[in-house]
Homo-oligomer: A and B are copies of this chain.
Amino acid sequence: MSLNEKLPPCPVETTLMLMGDKWKVLIVRDLLTGTKRFGELKKSLNGISQKVLTSHLRIMEKNGLITRKVYPQVPPKVEYTLTEVGQSLKQVHDAMLDWGSVYKLKYSTRTSMV
């Protein structure tokens, strides 16, 4: 997804373009607690493949949400950090956190919703 294309008129759609993906939300969730290394993210993002993680991180970097810092070492060390814009996703994240919590409380006593 390149930002060369015009951003959609509806701001919600803009957000969806940039964050409308399960993995991206979870990456932000993890980075909100601080800078993380690639391996830490991979472990925390239960089940993500390195290909997918790498590609998402690249896009988010391109979109100005995160920064990538490479330490010229052997073995390599790469750290990912939220930018200021990325940090501001905390509002969205917290809203999702709150809503999910309430939903769980409301429905955790049911065994089935079918």
Contact = CB atoms under 8 A, between A and B. Distances in A.
Interface stretch (A35-43, A68-76, A86-94): A86-94
A112 interface: yes
Nearest to A91: B95
Number of copies of this kind of chain in the complex: 2
Interface in A97-113: 97-104, 106-108, 110-113
Given A25-B20, A26-B12, A102 B88 contact: yes
B11 A104 contact: yes
Contacts of A95: 91-92, 94-96
A99 B91 contact: yes
Interface residues of A, number: 47
Given A91-B95, A95-B92, A14 B104 contact: yes
A95 B97 CA distance: 12
Contacts of A7: 103-104, 107-108
Looking at A100, A107, A108, the one whose CB has the most chain B CB atoms below 10 A away is: A100
A92 B88 contact: no
A26 B114 CA distance: 24
